[in-house]
Amino acid sequence: MQVVILERNKLVARRAARHFASIGATCTLVEDPAALAPALPGAALLCSDAFDGDLIVELLRNRPGLRGLLWTAEPIKRSLRHMQDCPAISHVLARKDFESPPRPWELLMAARRILLGDGAPPFTAYLDWGAQIISLAVSTTADRDRAVGNVQEFIARLQAPKRVGEMFGELAHELLMNAMYDAPVDATGHPMYAADRKAEITLSAAQQPTVLLGTDGTKLALQVRDPFGRLQRNHVVGGLLRGLSGGEMDQSHGGAGLGMMVCHNSAAAMFFDVMRGRATEVTAVFELDQNLREFRTSAKSLHFFAS
Amino acid sequence: MQPESSPAPAAGGQPGVPAGAADAKLTVDKFADGDIACLRFAGAIDESFEGKKLAGTVKAATLILDLGGVKKISSFGIREWVDFVTAVGKLVQKIVLIECTPKVVDQLNMVANFAGGGRVFSFYAPFRCDYCDSEHRVLLQVDRDHEAIKSMKLPERSCPSCKESMYFDEDGATFFSYLLGQEKFELEPEIVHFLSTKLNYAVSDVARKLRVDKLIEGRATFVRLGGDLDQSFPKDKLAEGLEGTVIFDVGGVGRIEPAGAAQWRGFVQMVSPLVSELFIIGATPPFVEKLCNKDDLGAKAQVLSINLPFQCKTCATSGSQLVDVAEHYDMLKLATAPDLKCVHCKNALTCAASEALMTTLPGLPMPTATAEQRKLIKELRERKPEKKKVATTVADAAQTQKSSWWLPFAAAFVAVGLAGGAFLGYRALTAKGATAAGLGKKLSASATARPAWITADVPGGAYCKDMPDQSLACVGVSSTAVAQDDALDEANDAALESIANSVAGKVEDKKWRAALPPIWQSTRQAKLAAFDREPNNTQARREVRDARRAVARLLAKTSAGAVPAAPSGKYWEEYESGDGKRYLAFVEYTVRGADVARMAKSYAENSTALGAAVVDVFPSLGWRYPNIGGGAVVMAVADGRLKTRGITEGYIMLEVRGRAVPNAATFAKIASEEMTQLELVGGTLELKVQSGDTEPRSFQDTIAKKGGDVVPPTNTGGRNNGGNNSGTGTPNTGNVNVWDRVGGGKGPSRDDPNQ
């Protein structure tokens, strides 16, 4: 497994390479973009800062087996455009600044899954050992509202700022609305409840989403899983891009991306795992040590896995 | 009264109910007084909010939206909200948003049309105290706190809980981004009055000051009070020389402070021996409760009318109703409110007066005012006070208007300057020594040295150069941006826009040059001029950015790959400015000479259909029409179907019978296909057309089946039923059913503002 890393900061490159090496990959570190192309033959993954995204997209375009991974200390919009232009890029990892590598656990998780083909990790993988996790059952509209309340209550008990609780409450509401109203389809593949999101519904046991909420005291993670596996990559990338491009209410091409925007604005990292036709898992991670002011201005991660 | 700094409201609170669930339900309270209505929102705006339905219930000229209680907004709620403000914006003349919570401010920043046509007057900024781990919110007003908003920084404040300092818990550049683009404004005096006296909002300190207007008519003295009744009530001065009939209109009195109440009581005692009658009209509930018992009124004072709060359960509206005491005396004597009907729906109103107020009513004396006195009172009440006596924001507003006399002249001057046809270039494009001065200390850059292709660095600029190898190299410079990403995007779009501008200059076709550039040039010049004048004005900057983005998007769609997908160079610099880190980015695109020539030729190539010669939409049209994604621009129209319908040069064909028109050739193709089809079976040819500065419009033309039955026209607008458009195929109209026609086909009666 050959990984090529284009990174001008040597220290960042070495640290990232160490994570890849830990799972048995060999890394080629490149500082000069001009030297990138010759290093690519035989490579399985190409990593770089989103600043060089145009070049990465160009290089990936003609190399079908090669996948891309971007990291960035900037807002995600530019990276999203690269994701939209290039299906080989499905991962953007946030980093604090240009002198910091991405979060180690996130880089390692992405590396394992991309290079070793590991499936979706258990929910505990997003948190440190010993984390407290609760599960919420949701089958009716009233359950949804109760679950949103429970999420806020759970966060309030951590003595986290109330606004964090409200933010995660909104996130839970968005994810549940998608899992309950958009995901379910009948035997012919037709959406069952998407036409009227105001309707009170009751989902059968086979249709019910599951909600997991957990914390290890430094991270907060929320996961909503539906048993349908219908989420499209374009819905995530295109939707978020539309939402972040000024939020014009153009709903003619699959929504204005407002839901995706709410998700993006509420989490430090979002993981979309689609097991086609079987399940969709959306996991949001928030770092509790970061205050909201820092959170607003820091970069966010986005991962899309499909199997 | 809303406190200026208040603890962030607690969630939940009901036993056994999770916090989030308790505040989930949205409540909307309506208050109305004359032409002004206020909707107060509390709770979560989500899928259960029915925006259009609520909008349909609003009947007012000015609508105030109090968003101080909004706790959550879901994505579906945003859609409903935008539907609401869009619909209500068509019904009212003015929308003012007040007390927007941080959640609402977030949406204003992210969703382009979240405020509709409304303006934000006040909003809460979130503060956090790390000492006592508490969160608070501070109410800011766009007039009073303009400088703080402009600086994007809020100073630390004393925490209301522990008195240690608390800090603004948001990123200023993000949080204030929408508000910075909004012009500073002050509320109109009547809105201030409504909010401060009817709803007890703290909107203006000036508005709360007691105002006294006095009118003398024969032996009657009419005194109108407004603002808070406090120590400043000039009882001695007012009592001087009073005699005859004295009428006090107290409808504008807000809060009644104990000192003010004492002053009033002293005043009534003082003037009772001097006057023949003392009539009180428009008494507000607090006034009645505090100052209208038997002792307070004394021997001479009588309450003629009361403002009682009523609710209409059908319209779900609250408002005060003026109740004539004499007319309803028998009911009031029994501490019962009179039966009144809603002026909107005519259903019965329910009195919402407090128990304390109702128990005061039986003590009111039966008024003895004669019909003649009542007539005089009505007349005096309707008479406007002279402005010079009013020491309120009315005066301020008048002053503001006076000081703005030069504005129309300035605007005219600018217009003349622009209309002169002079090409207004980008800011100091190639000025010698042009530098990014004033940006502060340079911290880092994407390369050790600036690339040689950067020859000017004025923020927001762009320039093109014809290279010796015939290629065209265009460089865009960003304005100073908070994020590197934004700076690069902005520079990228500026570079692409300058390519389009250069290509336009290289088109040789005279007809094209005469027809197309005039469509966008004045808009482009005006936007660039505004940005040039005020480079730090967020609105001006945003307009240029958005327009450049639209041009860049159109260029990518229409240049058929002539413009490279990736830039030939990019570079950024990071600066430490007084306001934090800022980025300046540069992007260069190089277009091969052959491609430039190809573009200059192909954009002017004509296609013909329906008697019109059309060319591809040119990217620079994005300056004027940022939402179009393609189209065919009419260059010339021969006599025929289109000309008869009023379609003329400069119109942009967007759709033919619902099929999108990406370019001129496709327009010709699908227009021909559709006409062939219509001539076989008959039907309506519908064209979606962009022109002028209005939304795209539909033009319809009924096509008769060749040699067969005539298909009756379908009238979509309901505005063109007259005259010959009956579908009988009269020679004058050829079965025309023109969407915007008025007047029934007599001459050129097309209702097109661009003609």
Taking the C-alpha atoms of residue B255 and residue B252, their distance in angstroms, rounded to an integer, is 10
Helices (H), B423-516: 484-506, 510-515
**What is the reported pLDDT for B438?**
65
**Which CATH number is B607-755 given?**
2.30.42.10
Same domain, A149 and A191: yes
**What is the reported pLDDT for A152?**
94
A170 contacts B47? CB cut-off 8 A: no
Chain B: give the shortest CA distance to residue A248, in Å. 5
Domain with CATH 2.30.42.10 in chain B: 607-755
- The angle subtended at Cα B11 by Cα B10 and Cα B15, nearest 5°, is 110
Choosing from A116, A144, A169, the residue where a domain stops is: A116
Chain B: give the shortest CA distance to residue A8, in Å. 10
Is the pLDDT at B249 greater than 80? The verdict is yes
**What is the reported pLDDT for B97?**
95
> In chain B, which among 88-107 make CB contacts under 8 A with chain A?
102-103, 106
CATH 3.30.750.24 fits B5-192, yes or no: yes
pLDDT tens digit sequence for B575-597: 887 667 788 999 999 999 999 99
**What is the reported pLDDT for B105?**
93
Find the farthest-apart pair of alpha carbons in chain B and give their distance in angstroms, rounded.
102
**What is the reported pLDDT for A19?**
95
Same domain, A265 and A185: yes
**What is the reported pLDDT for A256?**
59
Chain A: give the shortest CA distance to residue B202, in Å. 25
Q: What is the CATH number of the domain that holds A159?
A: 3.30.565.10
Choosing from A79, A97, A116, the residue where a domain stops is: A116
Q: Could you give the 3-state DSSP secondary structure of residue B330?
A: helix
Helices (H), A96-210: 104-111, 141-157, 162-177
**What is the reported pLDDT for A82?**
95
Chain B: give the shortest CA distance to residue A145, in Å. 6
Of A220-229, A237-246, B133-142, give the range with the top mean pLDDT: A220-229
A149 contacts B12? CB cut-off 8 A: yes
Taking the C-alpha atoms of residue B564 and residue B474, their distance in angstroms, rounded to an integer, is 12
Residue of A nearest to B14 (CA): A149
B111 interface with A at CB cutoff 8 Å: yes
In this complex, how many residue pairs, one in chain A and one in chain B, have their CB atoms less than 8 Å apart?
A: 140
Contacts of A170 in chain B (CB under 8 A): 72-74
Give chain A's mean pLDDT: 92
Pairing mode, strands A279-287 and A67-72: unpaired
Same domain, A262 and A164: yes
Mean pLDDT along residues B557-581: 85
Nearest by CB: A74 against B47, B170, B483 = B483
Specify whether the CB–CB gap between B283 and B292 falls below 8 A. yes
Same domain, A110 and A227: no
pLDDT tens digit sequence for B632-691: 999 888 877 777 777 888 899 999 888 889 999 999 999 888 888 888 888 888 888 888
The CATH architecture of the domain made up of B209-393 is: 2-Layer Sandwich (3.30)
pLDDT tens digit sequence for B496-544: 999 999 999 899 888 898 889 888 888 888 888 778 777 777 777 888 8
Contacts of B112 in chain A (CB under 8 A): 246-249
Q: How confident is the model at residue B398 (pLDDT cuts 50, 70, 90)?
A: very low
Q: How confident is the model at residue B409 (pLDDT cuts 50, 70, 90)?
A: very low
Give chain B's mean pLDDT: 78
B567 interface with A at CB cutoff 8 Å: yes
Contacts of A261 in chain B (CB under 8 A): 75, 110
Same domain, A112 and A129: no
Among A298-302, B368-372, B492-496, the range scoring the smallest mean pLDDT is B368-372
Domain with CATH 3.30.750.24 in chain B: 5-192, 209-393
pLDDT tens digit sequence for B12-53: 333 344 544 445 688 888 888 888 999 999 999 988 898 888
Burial class (CB in 10 A: 0-12, 13-18, 19+), B404: exposed
Q: How far is CA A236 from the centre of its chain?
A: 9
pLDDT tens digit sequence for B314-352: 776 777 788 999 999 988 888 888 888 887 778 888 888
Is the pLDDT at B694 greater than 80? The verdict is no
Residue of A nearest to B24 (CA): A145
Nearest by CB: B18 against A55, A146, A251 = A146
**What is the reported pLDDT for B203?**
61
Q: How confident is the model at residue B433 (pLDDT cuts 50, 70, 90)?
A: very low
Percent of chain B, pLDDT > 70? Answer: 81
pLDDT tens digit sequence for A234-284: 999 998 988 887 654 444 444 557 888 889 999 999 999 999 999 999 999
Same domain, A171 and A286: yes
Is the pLDDT at B616 greater than 90? The verdict is yes
Contacts of A259 in chain B (CB under 8 A): 75-76
Pairing mode, strands B652-656 and B659-660: antiparallel
- B contact test, residue of A6, A175, A249, A253 with most B CBs within 10 A: A249
Mean pLDDT along residues B301-307: 91
Same domain, A186 and A248: yes
Is the pLDDT at B420 greater than 50? The verdict is no
Same domain, A84 and A106: yes
Residue of B nearest to A78 (CA): B485
Q: Could you give the 3-state DSSP secondary structure of residue A303?
A: strand
pLDDT tens digit sequence for A131-159: 999 999 899 999 999 999 999 999 999 98
Specify whether the CB–CB gap between B68 and B101 falls below 8 A. yes
Q: Which amino acid is present at B615?
A: V
Choosing from A62, A96, A116, the residue where a domain stops is: A116
Note down the domain range covering A161.
Answer: 123-306
Q: What is the CATH number of the domain that holds A61?
A: 3.40.50.2300
Same domain, A94 and A141: no
**What is the reported pLDDT for B397?**
33
Among A75-84, A204-213, B319-328, B423-432, the range scoring the smallest mean pLDDT is B423-432
* Residue linked to tokens 């004539």: B324
A296 contacts B171? CB cut-off 8 A: yes
Token readout for B646 is: 């009023």
A247 contacts B169? CB cut-off 8 A: no
Cα separations (Å) of B598 from B180, B354, B506? 43, 79, 10
**What is the reported pLDDT for A25?**
95
Handedness of CA B475, B480, B481, B483 (dihedral sign): positive
Mean pLDDT along residues B558-569: 88
Is the pLDDT at A220 greater than 90? The verdict is yes
Specify whether the CB–CB gap between B349 and B341 falls below 8 A. yes
Is the pLDDT at B379 greater than 70? The verdict is yes
Q: Which amino acid is present at A280?
A: T
Among A60-74, B419-433, B452-466, B476-490, the range scoring the smallest mean pLDDT is B419-433
B82 contacts A293? CB cut-off 8 A: no
Same domain, A209 and A302: yes
Contacts of A162 in chain B (CB under 8 A): 8, 11, 135
**What is the reported pLDDT for B722?**
37
Contacts of B133 in chain A (CB under 8 A): 159
Same domain, A173 and A82: no
Chain B: give the shortest CA distance to residue A123, in Å. 24
Same domain, A53 and A83: yes
Taking the C-alpha atoms of residue B571 and residue B477, their distance in angstroms, rounded to an integer, is 10
Taking the C-alpha atoms of residue A102 and residue A94, their distance in angstroms, rounded to an integer, is 6
Closest CA to B316 of B58, B52, B21, B503: B58
A256 contacts B103? CB cut-off 8 A: no
Number of domains chain A is built from: 2
- A contact test, residue of B75, B83, B482, B688 with most A CBs within 10 A: B75
pLDDT tens digit sequence for B163-206: 888 999 988 888 998 898 888 788 887 888 788 766 767 665 55
B489 interface with A at CB cutoff 8 Å: yes
**What is the reported pLDDT for B714?**
42
